[in-house]
Amino acid sequence: MKLNAGVVTEKLAETKKFYTEVLNFGVTFENEFYLLLHTPNKTAEISFLLPNHPSQQSLFHAPFNGHGMYLTIEVDDVDALYQNLKKKGVNIKIDLRNEPWGDRHFAIQDPNGIGIDLVKYAP
């Protein structure tokens, strides 16, 4: 079984720019109403779909409202990524920090309002 989370959004262009330029995702597939992106190592994907598109059933028409969703992306070097994103001028929503249970992470937000937790898990 493989999971591909999807977000219904009008912001396909902004979303593509954010994920490819900020997080180095690649484009697996795209057309005028659908965008499928993959992580740099190609182990995970996320998709974005225009709302109310006639090719889709009504279940997939309503746009995401920008609340109640987050992504966690595990990285090898969270400190280097943090410094890189700060240099790029990315708005850091939660500064780099260590948690009592050992994880080290920080958070940013995509153009759709989705919080993205970038983490290096404790061994």
pLDDT reading at 75 higher than 90: yes
Residue 123 pLDDT grade (very low, low, confident, very high; cuts 50, 70, 90):
confident
Tell me the average pLDDT across 108-120.
Answer: 98
**Residues 6-61: pLDDT tens digits?**
999 999 999 999 999 999 999 999 999 999 999 999 999 999 999 999 999 999 99
Tell me the average pLDDT across 65-73.
Answer: 95
Distances (CA, A) of 1 to 4, 58, 64, 71, 88: 10, 25, 25, 19, 36
- Which of 88, 75, 79, 82 lies closest to 121 in space, CA to CA? 75
Residue 122 pLDDT grade (very low, low, confident, very high; cuts 50, 70, 90):
confident
> The pTM is what?
0.93
The residue ranges of DSSP E strands in the chain, in sequence order, are: 4-8, 26-30, 34-38, 45-49, 70-74, 94-98, 104-109, 115-120
CA dihedral sign of residues 76, 103, 44, 6? negative
